[in-house]
Structures are given as structure tokens and as C-alpha cells.
Chains A and B, each alone.
Chain A
């Protein structure tokens, strides 16, 4: 109680104001590739692209830096998206049959994406639950007509509805039912069968009145919207997958479920076309999978492109994800590593042009976006300036380097350019260029390093909104792995046909899990870095601008230090390749240190000035002098009772054994129960006993509620020896003279501090003399609460963290106060504490866990600049807890400043992946492929600032929104009239569907009139849905019964009712 009063004292208004100028929490941008994409759209006029996801997110991308993000209220899958060309508006269809209209609007000169309207499609009423087949109106395809004012919705029932896009209101009496189409079809084709769902709707570029309709059964119809009549009928009999209309109306191409495509000639005669002019199975003759989507694009230079997905021979390549590009005799089968979602071509869409002339093909895959340049011979892929698949191999660690010097930046970029196989020119060919990036050129360069499972480290430009890949470092080449032969064999065995071409970089399969990168550290002044991995490998690398061939010196450090009684049961260490190895320009390895036992490296740090690298595993830590290539120190941190640490990652074997045993038991049990019928009473009893005995144990566990043991941590808890953090500092450890020190913190709350004897560099010389470095244990601190030590940092006499090596000596940071008065900040999972130096005694502390019940997961010291005052900044401690909250504490006072909830506490991988920057920002993974960027600083915010030239009267929709309630209540929201009669749920759904809830009385009058007319109306003016409704009310209609049969599969939609 008392401490609350104490804390409240800190709340003086001046400080509060200052806090507002320093801290603000924003989630600013999502980097990487959207997780689980489900839909793709492209606006050829604005040259922007939209991607929808299964979680209901909508992302729009234009030129690099131009990004818009929106999220549907309901986390439903976005199944289709359509841009209203040139208007900056996007129509989305979700799998709950709701349509949403999104608008890019400008506020204060910056564009934002906002949801303008939504519309719940009228669907089957749920009034007699079980017996009624669900929705008649699941939308299968959407087509925008007449410059985007009207949308045609093809449904599973075969009807086509028309919708006024600007108000999202159904245009009544325009609904086109399959019956109407069937009247134009010869009787022998009809033969009593339904047409099936509408599979494709295509508009004609030059003649907007014509719609090409394709039904699942194979029938193709050209419908004249103006004349409301059927222009032409193609009597296809093969189950239809997709359609494309040739630009000059001469041809229609259709793709089918048997892997064939057909080209239909357009002759204007009134008689139905019976046969296509060409029908071919491109990957025949053996059975093939369906061609899901096909495009036909003609070119000025003659010929045309046929681009289609799928259609692969079922038996031999049925599992491949392929897009085939065919032009004249050239066929390329693009072989992707993940499922194809959708694709489009960037081509001319002006009606007056004679040719499509496709420039590029963009393929959206489950895990990446691939763009091919169709105008350059060979169709090379264009490197994407954003949407990089971060997870091309799973991310195992990440680190952020702020304020990268321009020199190093240029060297990394040039190393990356040498590495990338594409000519630089194609970078300019990126076809999606819409919008203008208004963000200022970033004031400083930020580098995000991600370590991956396959042993690579990727360098990303994290300075701005678009996370751009810069360079990829692979460490796998240094080691011998067993997978190499298999790879080359597999490639040799592959046939020439189909002409596969591997495209894309998503490759989730790691050659060897031991290669996985665990920790990364980079010295930005010397371009030296250290990469540490799963098998205890610690690799020191240096940036070199030219390729070399050199041998890497290898050393091993035994961290067990003759500790007896332990046997390592984990993986072997990696065996390095002998002899000189060729290294491309970029980071080239100099020294490899291998820890023994080869457990995963848990902490690493580098001090380039002293040429020292420190590394820790679950067994201990070591210090290595990479200039002299000699180990300095090894220290075992294992507790004698800790057996778990020794077993290594393969201790899972036990549980595997256990689960095997259990599954055997289950099999046995099921066998026993199978015999039950013939068993006599005696064996039944035995059986029952056996089952009882088997169940007794798990049963007990289930019965007891979840409970937690309350016990202080003890020294012999498992994994207490894991080294959690390592730190180098020039500070006071032993006496009044400062000098190099190394600090190590373990999982059990121990901190070891070593005084280092590093021979001083000769004045002017970069390298220090060749004398051995010595390490002397100076202090051991055992935190009494024994919580794992998360971070250690030394504060100078002014309470500021010490600068990085070389930072001060190169005048890039203020020199630290070395007059004494240093303090060490030790952050454990439970509390933060500042101790004086050299005599280690507690100065200030904050017991976070005792106060808040949360544990520290990540901490970082960050500089927060004020928005009000140009040169005022504070150094604070940012901390992420296991509950996903971010707290900020003052340093060295350790007073809580602000806290925000940032990550869901269930999102363990998100919390584990969080990395803070030096200037109060942070990143965490929101999916395997996306980093969310957040900002704690009020001043340092990286968010998309962009504008888009939109050519539509912006007030139009607003005005219509005002009017729309009437319309929406008459159309989109009719179920309200039925609410009293049927289910209780409909009022809720009503509100979801409508933009503005309105009183029921208002709806009642027009509706009841409408429903009365629909009951006895003719089929010409009402859709089948209405008919079905009538059937349900009146219980008699042949037509509706027939429609009903088509739709029995769909059971998902039971909510609202359409009555007209």
C-alpha cells in the first residue's frame, strides 16, 4: 500500500507532459509477406496491387513505400478482390458472403485505406434450421461492369445478381436466372440438368454491354446487358474452370477440370456454337489436374501469350505448383515451391489499343510474390522491392543495427548486388508503381539481420516502410552436410518435359538443422560480425569487397572444463570443410570456434576493438581472441545436479518413446475391444480391469484442476547453467582503474564478471600487439531470486549506457564519463537492479514480477527523443514481458514511465521474436513471414506516408452513404421483417449487414409489400433466391425445388432472408 503512495508522488504534471513528448505507442507497419494470402487484385490504371488474406486483412501496395493496410471486422477469408479502376476503391468478397467496399481517402495529404460500406449478401433464412438446404446465393464470381458502377455477382445457384457498387445495393429486377439462359439453349443440351454454379464472368474491354458467362457444366453465354438478351451460346460439355476473352473479340478461351483448354471462335451467327476450334490437354495424354485459371494476351509483335495455372499430369507432377507460360512454340513451366493463389498480367487496358502487350506476370503464391518480366527475352524474374518472404527459411533469430555508417551500407549493398543473379536494370522494371511515397528519406540507416534455419543470415534495409533485402550471407558452405549428393542426383534425374523452371526463393527445407543460426552480432564500424549456430559453432566473419579463396582456421573450446559425470547425448558438431574454400564478395569467415559439447549457442557478443568474441551455451561460456586465434577463457556454469542440460536436444527421445508406448496401447486396446463380442464374461472382467488400470493415471491428471506450485527457484533447477547474456564493457571492476571487462549472466541468476588484460593498441595502429589476452574473474554475483539474467549493461558516471566499441573513438557518440561512478544494470526475468561499481552493491531496483505478476522477456536500452525539443533525449529501458506488454523505465532510476500492451500474451512466438532498436522502435513476428513494426518513441516513427492520384468524385460515396440507409434497409437488410417469426439471431445479423441500424417499423412497410408481390410474381423479375423463399413460405414450387438441388452442398449460410 505504501509503495503505491510513493509511486504516485512521481506523477507531477511536468513529468507527465515530458512523458507525452517522449513516449507514444504505435504499431506502424507490417513488413514482409502477408500470412496466408487468399486473394489478389491489380488496378492497371493506378498501378496498385491488393492482397487479401485468410484473416481478413487487405493490403494494397504500389511503388516502394506506398502501402495501405485494412482489416475486416470479421476475421473471414477474403476470397475475391476487385479494384474499381482508377478510383482507389476496392470491392472485397469474404467467405461469409459479405461484400465490402474499401476506399483510399486522403487525410491531411496522406492517404489511408478505410472501409466505406459493407453488404451482407441476402442468403437463405434459417427459420427451419435442419431441413432447409443452406444458401442459394453463395457468390462464386464477381465482375465489375460499366467502369465500376455496377458489379455482377455470379452465384452458386447459377443466378447473376447486379449490385450498385457505390451504395452496395442490389439492383432489383435485373437478376439473371439460369432459367432465362436455358431458354436460349437447345432442348437436347438442356436435358433436365442444371447449369451449375457460375464459374466465370468476363466483361468485354471494348463493349461494356456484353458479359461472358461461364457455367460450371460448360455452357458459355454472351449476355447483352443493354438489350437484356442472350447474344450467343457455346455449348461446352466439359466442366468449366475459367474463361478469358480475347481483346479483339475474336476468341474466347476456356479452361477445364480435366486439364484441357479450349479456344472458341466468335462468329456472330445466332446458332449456338457446338465445338471449340481448338481443344487441347497441354500436359496430356495421361490424366491431368484442372487448369484453374487461364489468361489470353495478344502482342503487337505477333502471337499471343496463354498463361495458365495447374493442368499438370496427375500421377507424375500432381504435387507441383506450376504456372505455364506459352507463347508460340515457347513453353515454360514455372515451378513454384508453394501453392498458387492467383496471378495477373500487367498489360495495356486502354480499350483503343489493339494489343494487350503484357509487360509482366505477377504470381501470388502462398508464401511469396513472383514477378516475371515478359518483355525481356527469357522472362527473368524481377526482384521485388518489398513483400520479401522473410521466412524463405524459418527465422531463428533477429537483430537490429541502428545508425549504420554510410560506408558499410554501401559495401553491403554492393555485396548484395554482386550476389543477386538479376541484372540491376530489371530492378527498374518493377511494374507496380502506383502512388507517391511522401515519407522523408530516413535520417539514418537501420539494418535488420535475420538468422535462419538453413544457416543463412539475411540483411534487410529496415530504414523505411518497405523492408528491402540487401544481402544474404550463407554459412552452410563452410560445413560438410550429407544432403548435397542427394540434391545433385535429384536434378539429374529430372526429365526435360515438362520444361520446369524453378522460380522463387521460398525454401522451407533445411539441409541440416545444426546449421540453424542462433545468435548474430555485427560491429558496424569494423564490418566484422559473429554468427553462432545450433551445433555450437561460432563464426567470426569480415566484410570483403572482393571474392577470395582462403582457409578458415578452426578452434574448439571445451566448455565442460573436465566436469565429470556428464555425457552429451545431442547432435554431433558440424565438420568443417578442409582446405581453402572460395568465398564470394561479402562477409567471409575468418575463424570458426566450435563449442564442446556442441549445444546451441545461447548468447554471443563481439568486441572488435579488442578482437574478442564471447559465446555461451547451456554448459558455460568461452572467450576467444580471434586476432591471435587462441582461446582466452572457458568457464562451466553447469550445476552438478543438472542432468537435463547434458542430454541435449535429443532428450525428446524419451517422450517419443512414451508416446509410442501409448499409441501401441491404444492399438492393443482397440483390438481388444474389437474382440469384445466373442469374449466371455471372465475376459470381459479382465479387460475392464486392464482398462481401468490404464486409465487410472491420466484420469487422475484430468480430474485435478490446473494448479501451480509455489516454490522459490532452487540452484538445481534444470538448465540453470544456460548462459543468457554476455557483455563487454570498459569499466571499473576491481579498483579505481577502469579496464576491459566481460560479463556473463546465467539462467539461475548468476553473474560472472571478468577483468580482461587486453594489450593496448599501439597509438595509430589498428591492431593490438601480439600478446595474449588474460581474463581474471573479478566478481560473482548471485541474485537471490535466482531468476534468469536477461541483460547486463554498464552505465557511465552520468547514468548513460556505455557506447559501442569504436563509437566514441570515432566521434560518433559522446565519450562516456570515465571518472568513476559507474554502475551495472542487471535485468533478470523478475527485476531490474542497478549496482554500483567497482564495489558491487545494490543502488536502485524495480521488482517487476512482484508488482505486476509478469516476467521480463526482452529488454533494451533505447534513446527516446522528444517531439517538443529538438535536442532533448532520454535513455530508458524498454522491456517486453511474457504478457506481451511493453514497459519503459527510466535509467538509472528504474522508475516506471509508461506501459502499453503490444502483443497478445498467447502469441509466444511473437514475444520471443521481439527485437528493440536503439531509438525506441521494435519488431516482432506476427506470422512466420511478417514483422510488425512498432514504435515507443513519440518522435521516431516509421510509418507509411503516401498519396495516390485518384480520379473519382470523392464526395460521391459520402453523399450516397447518407442516402443509403433506405436502400440498404429495403435490400440488404430485409431479414428484420422475419425476426419475430423465426430465429433469435437475425437481429444481430441484421446489424452486421446494415451500415446503420434503423428502427424495425421503418422496414416493415415497404418490405411486406415487396414480399407480397414476390409470392405471386413471375420468374422473369425475381431471382431463384426469391423463388426459394417463396417456396419456404408457401411450400410449393417446382422451379425452386430444382434450384434447391444444385445447392445442397452449401451449408454455411443460414442467416438472413431476401424478400423482394
Chain B
């Protein structure tokens, strides 16, 4: 097959399509049958073969008619690429480890470096790399509303996933006072409020938290009676997987539970949807539960070495993430008391604990509160 392609290269006839593939500084040219492009896996194998990189994980991209660099990672976009190639299909291959994800997207090939963007928003530019477009397993949740079924409608429980992102949480809290209904009538009680959102921060970008929202709980622990400093410490201690229950200052956007015809109780909804395929879930579950447990342990063989985390380059961060993940998966079974200190926001019972993640998933799919 390979030979056949090479043979047809340069013929320029209507049935074949010229492919120019670039990997590093090397080019390879070959042609493909336009009518029978085959599957993406075959194409991927072909590219590995022609570049003589059989065991290297790579990202494949192509330049579309507008000059945008778009990824090829499944049959659909592979076929799209083949069908739009006219006449030349320009392929760009990057090693997965050193992939520059920011290269993908609109206008990326035309304006290779948007200087302004780089200067003005360096973080924004840097954090992009972790999202590989069109690869579902590389998506990660940023925030979610959870436990809608067990909370009063006036409250909102928001989960912020700080894990792995360079984006700051980006909010501030302050002391304040709120009015409560008590047995002695209305009483003014001290409370903790969100005082400021940092533009571009995680909190602001989710849209789930707003200035003057009252913080009621942090990871399942009520903040009433605690000082601002204590609440700050609690939030920072939980910052990798922060679950804040707030009473939003703006009560107009509350989730109205009755709107969901079936399963107003979380339990039944969970059960009904348990069978649904949840391809993302397994890879996220450990981090969701215990993301701050991923202490990095580096076995050393005598050569003094810097802690990888301390090196700010994207490359090492990426590799670190891998270390953490593998470590985590190795350790999960060894933590005997996970339920004890984990998942404080889950519903009332053990079984709910097990099913909570799907529940979340459900809510996201439901469309009420999805943020990615």
C-alpha cells in the first residue's frame, strides 16, 4: 500500500491526492487515494512509517483552506481533511510530549505568533496547551454545580477543579453580616462573603460565583462561627478540589428543581442513568476525590535533582502530571479510609458516594449547569 502511494506521488491525477507531511525539520511527500482514504488509524500508522517513528506518540494536524491548523485524530476529521484538501494536503506532525497546542485553532498558521496576545496575557497563552482539541479524554471539568437535589433552592454548591490548570482560582473573601431567621426572629449574624473575582480567574470564568455571594460551607464544613482567616485556610487547604456552598446574592438564576419531570430525587436519577456510558469518568475519578493527595514521590538514584514541579516550563509540568497520575493509580487501593475524609459534599449515604460522580455527569449533560 505504501509503495503504491509513493508510486502515485506527483501524478496529479484526479483520483489521488498529494500529501506533504512535516515532522520536525523533515518533509515526506506521498499521495493518497482521495476516494478511499481509509481509516484514521491506518493513516496514523502510515505517517509513523514514512517518518520512521513507529513508537512515538504524535499529534497530527493539517492546514485547512483558511490556513488554520486543525487536528486530525479521528475518522471524521480525517475524512474532512481529505475532502477539503485541494490539491495538496499539508500535514503537520508533533511529538505528543512537546506538542504546542496553542498552534491549533483559527488563524494559527497565518499569524503564527500573535505578539499582542503573548505579551498581554501570557498565562492565558500558557494554560491552553493542556486542552487537546477533539480528544475527549483530554477534556477536564473546570467547575460544576453539585448536590442540587439535596440543597435548598436558595443555595448553590459549586465545585472548582483547580487541578492541573495554571489559571488562578481568582477570588477573594471578606467578613460581612447576613440576616438569618432564628427562633428569636430575624438576627444579624456575621458571615463570609465573596468580595472580589479576578478577571480571567477560574471563579469568574465559571460564572457560578459572584461578588457578595455568602459562603456557607467549604468542602462540607460549615463556616459559621469561623473567622475569616480560618475560612481562608480551609479554602486554601482544599484549593485543589474546592467545593463551596454559597447563597448567591442574585437569586434569580437558581436551579428550579421541579422543571425536571422525572427524578426530582437525586437517588432515582442516579440509578436511571447509571447504565449510561461514562467514558470520561474513570480517568477523573481519582483526582476528583483526592486531588490533593497526589504527593509526588521521586525515587532517586543518587544524583541530586531539582524537584520537577519547580521548573516552570510546560514540558515538565506535563511530565509531572503523568507521574502524578501513575502514582495515583498505584496508590488508590492503599488508602484504606478514603470515604472517611473524602468527598465531603456527597449526599447522605454511602451509596450516594458511589454514585455521585455519575450524578454530576448527569447534571452536566442535563444542560442546566455545564461549564467546561
The verdict on A898 contacting chain B, using a C-beta distance below 8 Å, is no
* Chain B residues closer than 8 Å to A819, beta-carbon distance: none
Residues of chain A contacted by B240 (CB below 8 angstroms): 712, 784-785
**B257 interfacial contact with A, CB 8 Å:** no
Among A189-197, A261-269, A412-420, A839-847, the stretch that binds chain B is: A839-847
Q: Is the CB of B304 within 8 A of A847?
A: no
B260 to chain A, nearest CB (A): 23
Which of B236, B239, B240, B309 has the most A CB atoms < 10 Å from its CB? Answer: B236
Closest to B173 in A: A708
Least Cβ distance of A621 to chain B in Å? 12
Contact B294 A777, beta carbon cutoff 8 Å: no
Bound CA span A640–B229, Å: 29
Cα A778 to Cα B297 with chains together (Å): 10
**Per-residue interface assignment for chain B, residues 282 to 312, with 1 indicating a CB less than 8 Å from any chain A CB and 0 otherwise:** 0000000001111111111011110101101
Q: A777-B300, A781-B296, A842-B334 are in contact. Are A3 and B344 (CB under 8 A)?
A: yes
Residue from the list B175, B234, B312 in contact with A705, Cβ < 8 A? B175
Looking at A213-221, A849-857, A859-867, A1028-1036, the stretch in contact with chain B turns out to be A849-857
The 0/1 profile, CB within 8 Å of A marked 1, for residues 213-244 of chain B is 00000011101001111111111111110100
A707 near B239 with CB under 8 A, answer: no
Least CB separation from A850: chain B residue: B237
> In the complex where A777-B300, A853-B234 touch, is A707 in contact with B341 (Cβ < 8 A)?
no
State A2–B347 Cα separation when bound (angstroms): 8
Set B169, B340, B349: member contacting A3, Cβ < 8 A: B340
The yes or no answer to B168 lying at the interface (CB within 8 A) is: yes
B348 touches A (CB below 8 Å): yes
Whether, in the assembled complex, A709 has its beta carbon less than 8 Å from a beta carbon of chain B, the answer is yes
Produce 1/0 per residue, A640-669, CB < 8 A to B: 110000000000000000000000000000
Near B by CB (< 8 A), chain A positions 763-811 give 776-785, 787
Q: Does B90 contact A (CB under 8 A)?
A: no
Instruction: Tell me whether B196 is interfacial, beta carbon within 8 Å.
Output: yes
Report whether A842 and B340 are in contact in the complex, using a CB–CB cutoff of 8 Å: no
Provide the bound-state CA to CA distance between A336 and B260, in Å.
Answer: 84
When distances are taken between beta carbons in the complex, the residues of chain A under 8 Å from B349 are: 2
Question: What residues of B have a CB within 8 angstroms of the CB of A704 in the complex?
Answer: 195
Q: Is the CB of B168 within 8 A of A711?
A: yes
Are A845 and B296 in touch, CB under 8 angstroms?
no
Which of A776, A782, A854 is B295 in contact with, Cβ under 8 Å? A782
CA distance A783 to B296 in the complex (A): 7
**Contact (A715, B309) CB under 8 Å given A3-B344, A779-B297:** yes
Q: Known contacts A708-B172, A780-B300; is A850 also within 8 Å of B238 by CB?
A: yes
Which single member of B232, B296, B298, B344 contacts A708 (CB below 8 Å)? B232
Query: Within 8 Å of chain A (Cβ to Cβ): is B72?
Result: no
The listed residue (A715, A833, A853) touching B233 by CB distance below 8 A is: A853
When the two chains form their complex, are residues A842 and B219 in contact, meaning their CB atoms are under 8 A apart?
no
A778 x B300 contact (CB < 8 A): yes
Chain B proximity of A888: nearest CB distance (Å): 18
- Give the docked Cα–Cα distance between A570 and B136 (Å): 53
How many angstroms between the C-alpha atoms of A836 and B333 in the bound complex?
14
Q: How far is the CA of A843 from the CA of B331 in the complex (A)?
A: 9
B335 touches A842 (CB 8 A): yes
Nearest opposing residue in chain A for B239, CB measure: A712
Q: Is the C-beta of B171 less than 8 angstroms from some C-beta in chain A?
A: yes
Quick check: B305 and A3 within 8 Å, CB to CB?
no
Choice from B162, B195, B230, B340 contacting A707 with Cβ under 8 Å: B195
A985 touches B (CB below 8 Å): no
Are the CB atoms of A2 and B172 closer together than 8 Å?
no
Contact A710 B235, beta carbon cutoff 8 Å? yes
Q: Does B346 contact A (CB under 8 A)?
A: yes
Alpha-carbon distance A777/B170, docked complex (angstroms): 37
Quick check: is B26 within 8 A (CB to CB) of the other chain? no
Q: Is A706 interfacial (CB 8 A cutoff)?
A: yes
Q: Is the CB of B307 within 8 A of A780?
A: yes
**Given A705-B195, A707-B196, A782-B296 in contact, is the A2-B228 Cβ separation under 8 Å?**
no
A781 lies within 8 A of B310 (CB):
no
Count: A-B pairs, CB below 8 Å: 170
A497 in contact (CB, < 8 A): no
| CB-CB under 8 A for A849 and B234, given A705-B175, A706-B228 | yes
Q: Which of B239, B305, B343 contacts A2 (CB 8 A)?
A: B343
CB distance from A480 to the nearest CB of B (A): 35
Q: A2 near B353 (CB under 8 angstroms)?
A: yes
* Candidates A641, A712, A836, A847; contact of B169 at CB < 8 Å: A712
State whether B237 touches A849 (Cβ < 8 A): yes
Complex contact A845–B341 (CB within 8 A): yes
Decide yes or no whether A628 CB sits under 8 A from chain B.
no
B230 & A883 in contact (Cβ 8 Å cutoff): yes
Contacts of B220 in A (CB 8 A): 1, 3
Return chain B residues, CB-CB under 8 Å to A707: 172-174, 195-196
Residues of chain A lying within 8 A (CB to CB) of residue B366: none
Contact B174 A705, beta carbon cutoff 8 Å: yes
Complexed CA–CA distance, A715 and B228 (Å): 24
Q: Are A711 and B309 in contact (CB under 8 A)?
A: no
Q: Does A635 contact B (CB under 8 A)?
A: yes
One digit per residue, 1 when the CB lies within 8 angstroms of any chain A CB and 0 when it does not, for chain B 119-152 equals 0000000000000000000000000000000000
> Looking across the interface, which residue of chain B has its beta carbon closest to that of A9?
B340
* Chain B residue at minimum C-beta to C-beta distance from A7: B340
Residue of A nearest to B334 (CB): A841
Asked if A830 and B237 make an inter-chain contact with CB atoms under 8 angstroms apart, the answer reads: yes
Does B239 lie within 8 Å of A711, measured CB to CB?
A: yes
A108–B261 CA distance with the chains assembled, in angstroms:
73
From B150, which residue of chain A is reached at the shortest CB distance?
A: A1
The answer for the CA separation of A321 and B25 in the assembled complex, in Å, is: 86
Residues of B within 8 A of A778 (CB): 299-300
Which of chain B's residues have a CB closer than 8 A to the CB of A842?
Answer: 293, 295, 331, 334-335
Q: Does B183 contact A (CB under 8 A)?
A: no
Neighbouring A residues of B336 by C-beta, 8 Å: 843-844
A 701-732 to B, binary, CB cutoff 8 A, 1 in contact else 0: 00011111111110110000000000000000
Q: B343: which A residues are within 8 A, CB to CB? A: 2
Q: Are B169 and A710 in contact (CB under 8 A)?
A: yes
Whether the Cβ atoms of A781 and B173 lie closer than 8 Å is: no
Q: How far is the CA of A833 from the CA of B295 in the complex (A)?
A: 11
Chain B residues with Cβ below 8 Å from A705 are 174-176, 195
Tell yes or no: B365 within 8 A of A by CB. Answer: no
Q: Given the complex, which residues of A lie within 8 Å of B367, measured CB to CB?
A: none
Q: Which of A1-52 contact B (CB under 8 A)?
A: 1-3, 6-7
B334 to A711, Cβ gap below 8 A? no
What A residues does B174 contact at CB under 8 A? 705-708
Kindly list chain A residues whose C-beta atoms are within 8 Å of the C-beta of B304: 635, 777
Residues in A whose Cβ lies below 8 Å from that of B341 = 3, 845-847, 850-851
- A921 lies within 8 A of chain B by Cβ: no
Q: How many Å lie between the Cα of A705 and that of B297 in the bound state? A: 41
Which B residues lie within 8 Å of A836 (CB)?
Answer: 334
A750 within 8 A of B: yes
Q: Is A594 an interface residue (CB 8 A)?
A: no
Known A-B contacts A707-B195, A846-B341; A853 and B226 likewise in contact (beta carbons under 8 Å): yes
- Contact, CB under 8 Å: A844 / B239: no
Residues of B within 8 A of A712 (CB): 162, 169, 236, 239-240
Known: A776-B302, A842-B335, A844-B337. A710 touches B239 (CB 8 A): yes
Find out whether the CB atom of B172 lies under 8 angstroms from the CB atom of A779: no
B201 to chain A: closest residue by CB: A711
Interchain CA distance A967-B139 in the complex, whole Å: 84
Q: How far is the CA of A779 from the CA of B305 in the complex (A)?
A: 11
In the assembled complex, A87 has its CB within 8 A of some CB on chain B: no
- Is the CB–CB distance between B344 and A2 below 8 Å? yes
Q: A715-B309, A853-B229 are in contact. List 8 more A-B contacts (CB 8 A).
A: A1-B345, A712-B169, A777-B302, A780-B298, A782-B297, A844-B337, A853-B231, A853-B233
Give 16 A-B contacts (CB < 8 Å), ordered by A residue. Answer: A1-B344, A2-B339, A3-B339, A3-B344, A704-B195, A708-B232, A710-B173, A712-B169, A776-B300, A778-B300, A779-B297, A843-B334, A844-B337, A849-B237, A850-B237, A855-B233
